[in-house]
Amino acid sequence: MKIKNEINYIYFSCALIYVTLLSLSHILPLQSEYLPYKVFFSIYSALQALLEVSLFILVGFLFKKISPIAYKAYVGLLFLFLLAHYADYTVVKLMDTTILAALKIFFSSGIGHFFAAIHSLNLNLTMALLTIGTVIIIPFAGVVFYLITQKVIKSKPLNLSANQIGKIVVIAAFSLLTLDLFSRSLLPFEIHAKYQKTLPLKSTFLSPNGEKIVINKRLKTPILNKPLVASYNDKRPNIYLFIIETLRKDYITSEIAPNLLKLQENGPKIAMTFANANASHHSWFSIFTSMYPFHWDSYKSQKQGAIPLQLLKDLGYQIRVYTSADLKYFKMQDQIFGENQKIYDFFKDYTATGEPPPQRDLQAIKDFSKDLKNNSHATLFIIFLDSTHSEYSWHNDFTPKFHPIAKEIDYLTINPKKGLDKIKNRYKNSVNYIDHLIGRATDALKRENLYEEAILVFTGDHGEEFFENGALFHGTHLNNPQTTVPIIYKLNSNRATCSNVVTSHVDIFPTILNEIVGSNVLDTYFNGQSIFSKHRFNFALSMQQNGGEIPLEFFLHNGSHKIILKFPNTNLYQTSELEVLSLKDRDDKNIPLEKQNIIKLELEKGLSLIFD
């Protein structure tokens, strides 16, 4: 006779309904051309919820055999797990990514990085306390709820055996697998990628059959040996590189950022400018190494610092760094400036003060302006500014221009229809504040008669999305809001227009070195090229961040269209095929089927950028 266990059917029924409704509340509002997709994923989510809760019950049987205390502890942890479903629901709603993908950013590079990542969030105190309190209280609440419902079911008990629950698990799993086999040739990849994040288990058992591009070449391996510089121009102008956190190009307007707009209008006219990734660490890597983020992991063996910085040192430059951003994030300080950070001559980390970003940014600009008076050596000045990062802030003495303003970001209630304009006004005010600081910096250069001879570069490390494609913040989509950033140059030489140029972060240091050396001879050592090179590959590449792991997903953009591709695994240098995820026009609209083959052939030419 099979042993039957009393089931708290109220508790587990509530869990089943809760998990199912959370998933459906994502699926049903999603826009889709075809109703069958919503029906398919609604059925799939209900079956996954049934599978999950049935497994909870089976595991509970094991804990009951251990001891009543062990089972109660399991019930409490189970409630915490159900809370994780709500946390995931919130993350998907806000960022269109799963909580596991978000947690990868925090836990993929050691405990030191974890604290740097938490610090970089600039999370407001209300949300921080709410998060901590919830994690502490919920398990106890789960146990109390279970005990209450346990008393209720005593009058009408339900007893089931492990064998009976096991049959439910098998039926649910078989049904899910059948749905996968039926649909994998019918589901478009983009639809599948969008909807699977809403499922209780965050993925279908099988993925749809995607289109492949077969490559007869291999990914170019990075050159990690520093080239010798045979000659350079007599003049060695000072270089000023400003890297601004989370800066969208379309927010550089006369109303929001007049100083940056004026610099942009007076500099080379460039058609399109992109970040090489939609997250800070990969973009910082590309800016300073002039290499695509593919090579992020390979470059870790380079212990002497980024090669462009080494070249500038060989050319007699000093390097001074003023950072309001936390460069301990993914240990980027080591990758940029070398394992022992010997490559710079001065380094000031304002995050060590514990002040909020606006105060840090202001002090960085004050110190930078002061140090200009005592500097007589050819110098590369690097300034990282952080006020435009999440929470979007400005100094108390700065008068915000855009109203109404959200007092702080409520991550639990914000959505595309509620409170978004107030959040966007926070962002506009933070950009306006950064622009004010840029004005102060350029005024200081002019006061010291350093501006005319200077090389200046201003860029954002990545953009920011405000639900244009279903997400808030960055690091989730390879779309225009997250990857289109300003790259503004003030150079000394008179050059032809760049109105047809599509450029990205990797081109910054080749352009600077071209100004100093007087030729493009160094371009062969980098993925980037001078924006004035006559032999430019007029494509830009940007990658989807992947936490501390090698990024796999990327786009190639030729100024009119882009193709989004993905490596099948992390063995990038041995791969022989790429998966085609989507084709878009310059406005992120899908390309009609009848035009896809012609456009795809044109975009595939850009693969010569990265493959031998």
pLDDT of 403 reads 95
**174 pLDDT exceeds 70?**
yes
Indicate the helix (H) or strand (E) that contains 348: strand 346-349
- Whether 404 and 257 map to the same domain: the answer is yes
What is the torsional sign of CA 72, 75, 77, 79? negative
pLDDT of 453 reads 92
- Whether 190 and 281 map to the same domain: the answer is no
pLDDT of 575 reads 86
- Whether 62 and 157 map to the same domain: the answer is yes
Structural contact between residues 264 and 482, judged by C-beta atoms closer than 8 angstroms:
no
Q: Which has the higher per-residue pLDDT, 432 or 101?
A: 432
pLDDT of 62 reads 87
Last residue of a domain, one of 448, 483, 517: 517
Judge residue 122's burial from the number of C-beta atoms within 10 Å of its C-beta, 0-12 exposed, 13-18 middle, 19 or more buried. middle
Name the domain count of the chain: 2
Mean pLDDT of 309-324: 94
**496 pLDDT exceeds 80?**
no
**129 pLDDT exceeds 70?**
no
Mean pLDDT of 142-167: 82
**505 pLDDT exceeds 90?**
yes
Average pLDDT score, the chain? 86
CATH number at residue 364: 3.40.720.10
pLDDT of 113 reads 55
In a domain, 398, yes or no: yes
- Whether 412 and 459 map to the same domain: the answer is yes
* DSSP sequence for 140-164: HHHHHHHHHHHHHGGGS--EEEHHH
Q: What would the 3-class secondary structure string for 231-248 be?
A: CCCCCCCCEEEEEECCCC
pLDDT band at 445 (very low <50, low <70, confident <90, very high): very high
Range of the domain at 473: 239-517
For 99-103, which contacts have Cβ atoms below 8 Å and span 24 or more sequence positions? 100/202, 101/547
- Whether 156 and 243 map to the same domain: the answer is no
- Whether 361 and 482 map to the same domain: the answer is yes
For the CA atoms of 227, 220, 588, 267, the dihedral, rounded to the nearest 10 degrees, stands at 10
In a domain, 498, yes or no: yes
* DSSP sequence for 407-452: SS--TTT-BTTBSHHHHHHHHHHHHHHHHHHHHHHHHHHHHTT-ST
Last residue of a domain, one of 517, 538, 568: 517
In a domain, 546, yes or no: no
| 404: number of Cβ within 10 Å | 10
Indicate the helix (H) or strand (E) that contains 584: strand 577-585
In a domain, 51, yes or no: yes
- Whether 356 and 427 map to the same domain: the answer is yes
In a domain, 599, yes or no: no
Q: What is the CA radius of gyration of the chain?
A: 27
The percent of residues in the chain predicted with pLDDT above 90, rounded, is 43
Nearest residue to 204 via CA among 232, 178, 240, 228: 178
- Whether 76 and 202 map to the same domain: the answer is yes
In a domain, 487, yes or no: yes
What is the distance of C-alpha 268 from the center of its chain?
28
Strand partners, 318: 379
- Whether 205 and 336 map to the same domain: the answer is no
Amino acid at 213: I
Nearest residue to 459 via CA among 260, 278, 321: 260
Q: Which has the higher per-residue pLDDT, 110 or 500?
A: 500
Exposure string (b/e) for 8-22, b if CB count within 10 Å is 16 or more?
bbbbbeebbeebbeb
- Whether 153 and 290 map to the same domain: the answer is no
- Per-residue pLDDT tens for 207-259? 887 777 777 788 888 877 777 665 566 678 999 999 999 999 999 999 999 99
Structural contact between residues 446 and 259, judged by C-beta atoms closer than 8 angstroms:
no
**1 pLDDT exceeds 50?**
no
Q: 101-105, 148-152, 488-492, 568-572 — which one is most confidently predicted on average?
A: 488-492
Would you call the peptide bond into 510 cis, given omega within 30 degrees of 0 as the criterion? no
Structural contact between residues 45 and 27, judged by C-beta atoms closer than 8 angstroms:
yes
- Whether 246 and 384 map to the same domain: the answer is yes
In a domain, 299, yes or no: yes
What is the distance of C-alpha 325 from the center of its chain?
16
- Whether 257 and 134 map to the same domain: the answer is no
SS3 content of the chain, % helix, strand, coil (to 5): 50, 15, 35
What is the distance of C-alpha 273 from the center of its chain?
17
Q: How many CA atoms lie within 13 A of 604 on its CB side?
A: 16
Q: Which has the higher per-residue pLDDT, 402 or 198?
A: 402
- The pair of three-digit structure tokens given for residue 373, joined into one six-digit string: 């008076």
In a domain, 528, yes or no: no
Last residue of a domain, one of 517, 534, 568: 517
pLDDT of 107 reads 64
